[in-house]
Structure formats: C-alpha cells, structure tokens
Amino acid sequence: MPIDIILDESKKRLQELFEQSKYFDCEVFLEKSGKDLFLLLAARFDHDLRQGGFAQFFYNMNGNLLAEVEDMLIQANAVVAHEFYVRAVQACIANKYEYDAFLQSDYLSDNALKNELHAISLDYLACHVDFSFEVCDFVCGSDLK
C-alpha cells in the first residue's frame, strides 16, 4: 500500500480516537489499560502537539499519566517523538516551580517553562517527522494489510 494512503489512515485513526476521548478526564483514562490506553494517549499526544505543542500537551495532561505516555511512545516505536518528549519532561523536572505554576495557570499567562516547551516543540517540528507516520503501524496495525 502506498505510504501516503497509510499515513492518511494513521491520521484518520488518531483523529477518530481523539474524538472518542476528547472529553475524558484522568479517571476515565485510568479505567483503560494496555493498548487501549496507549491508543488513546497517542491520539491525545498527536492532537495536542499539532494544536499547541508540548506546552498544550503537558498542560492538558496536568501531570497525569506521563509515565504511561512514555511507555506508549516506546511501544509505538515513536523514536523521534520520544526523544523530544524526554527533553520536555526533563525541562519540567528541572523547573519544578515553573511547572507547578504553569499547571495552575490559565495557560495564557507568561511562564518560562511554557516558553521552553514551545521551543522544544519548534525543534520537534523542525525534524519533519510526522507523529502519525512514526506510529502508523501501532495505531492501524492489522487494519492496513
């Protein structure tokens, strides 16, 4: 199957998963497990990174399920996304006060960590490796034979 069709299918699947879960709170995510959880986290990751980068993703996750997100990126073999995710996590850990302030903010307020997360997002986007491409086998699996 041509790569553009596979990529379109991956993007479509991620969007479908996001639409199913966009109003989920942390408790609903925690009711999921295994690949079901990872697929929903992949959809959230994809959506938030496209809309507002790592700042939006970390703000929306509010400190929840971050280890599971890393596990998902590893299992999905999203090598580039994982590399930048780790950089973003390290920035949050290194700036704990700013991280807490950012999560308690209205998102729009100026915050040094938010700015750093935006810079990491720009570096990630400059790689030109689409997350939906990295995870296409994981999210579509046997659907694309």
CB 14 within 8 A of CB 46: yes
Model confidence at 75: pLDDT above 60: yes
Q: Residue 73: is its pLDDT beyond 90?
A: yes
- pLDDT above 60 for 125: yes
pTM exceeds 0.85 for this model: yes
| CA atoms within a 13 Å half-sphere pointing along the CA-CB vector of 1 | 14
Amino acid at 32: K
Name the domain count of the chain: 1
Residue 144 has pLDDT above 50, yes or no: no
The residue type at 119: A
| Residue 71 located in a structural domain | yes
**pLDDT band (50, 70, 90) for residue 142:** very low
- Work out the number of other CB atoms within 10 angstroms of the CB of residue 79: 11
Domain residues for the domain of 129 are 3-140
Residue 145 lies in a domain: no
Tell me how far apart the alpha carbons of residues 69 and 38 are, in angstroms, rounded to a whole number. Answer: 7
